[in-house]
Amino acid sequence: MKAAVLREINKPLVIEDVQYGNPAPREVLIRTVAAGVCHSDLHFQNGSYPYQLPAILGHESAGVVEAVGSDVTYVKKGDHVITCLSAFCGHCEPCITGRMSLCSEPELQRDEDGPSRLAKNDEKISQFLNLSSFAEYMLVHEHTVAKIRDDMPMDIAALIGCGVTTGVGAVIHTAKVEPGSTVAVIGCGGVGLSAINGAALAGAARIIAIDMVPSKLELARKFGATDVINAGEVDPVEAVREMTKGGVHYSFEAIGLAKTAQQSFKMLGMGGTATIIGMIPVGTMVELHGPEFLMERKMQGSNMGSNRFRVDMPRFVDLYLQGRLHLDELISRRIKLEDVNDGLAALETGEVARSVIMFD
């Protein structure tokens, strides 16, 4: 199969012929139909987060089941599925206490001394975040897929696999935004726009979108933002506190910078909660001052929207088909696998929401 392989940090991905194995008893072979190019892929490509190389990147995807292992009963050949990097074992402490997105059991991967799921001749290729979807096929553990209805467009479904689940989930699961509350979202890329949409679904009374790109702020209004702030023109903390007479109930940082994480905390009102969604680079320190914690202000992280993806993703599909989850506008362009490096480069400019690789 054709796949985009990362061999060196800060180097372009290389389109190569790679082999995949046969499904083990609890594995599923998926023909990839669509894969979103996500900022998380860029973080690993540029070395902000380390990973064992060579690897096939990609983790936001949808496809069709081609074959299943002998013990798989959840899906069958021909089923349409969304993939999720939040693979779960179902029996560790995070899983049985309802925090499946925090599962990290090694049984979800193959043993190091066994045959690799991905290889090029005799060279093992690392599977990225349980998936590696910048490839024509994915061989994955059965607990990385959610079955969806056949009438859902696959290019749109792919976005649910990461960005939408991360953004909407951070609002409804991690922060548990209450109806009538005030919300500020810093960063209006795919994840930030999904958080804005999630805040609207949750019934927030005021949703303030913050970015430095005017076109993104206009797009934010379509997703439910009631107000917008251009952080390149005004101090966003002062602007939010003035607009809300003291600060918001909830803030969300969807960029991954120390500066914006600190801003998300400073724009809180009394008892407010800041949720960090963005991937802040390894080794980066976020500075907060002691008095800022008075009046019960809180800062917390969110991993993949604290999802229960086999429950959440089919629901998100229904919300999209009902016209309540705005996903069409998240796709800036559809590209081919050979254009994956252009898709990654476009993320650097901040002008696009999502490029989606189409395999059919």
Q: Enumerate the active-site residues.
A: 38, 40, 43, 59, 162
Give the pairing type, strands 355-358 and 333-335. parallel
User: Where do runs of H (alpha helix) occur along the chain?
Assistant: 39-45, 93-96, 154-159, 165-169, 190-202, 214-222, 236-243, 258-266, 309-321, 340-349
Give the integer Cα–Cα distance in Å for 23 and 145.
14
- CA separation for the pair 83, 160 (Å, rounded): 9
| DSSP 8-class letter at 283 | T
Asked if 175 contacts 207 with a C-beta cutoff of 8 angstroms, the reply is no
For 112, counting Cβ atoms within 10 Å of its Cβ (0-12 exposed, 13-18 middle, 19+ buried), the class is exposed
Judge residue 271's burial from the number of C-beta atoms within 10 Å of its C-beta, 0-12 exposed, 13-18 middle, 19 or more buried: exposed
> How many residues would you count in the chain?
360
Q: Considering only CA atoms, which of 228, 222, 190 is closest in space to residue 206? A: 228
Question: How far is the C-alpha of 140 from the C-alpha of 255, rounded, in Å?
Answer: 29
Q: How far apart are CA 171 and CA 61, in angstroms?
A: 22
Distance between CA 312 and CA 325 in Å, rounded? Answer: 13
- Cα 90 to Cα 85: distance, rounded to the nearest angstrom: 15
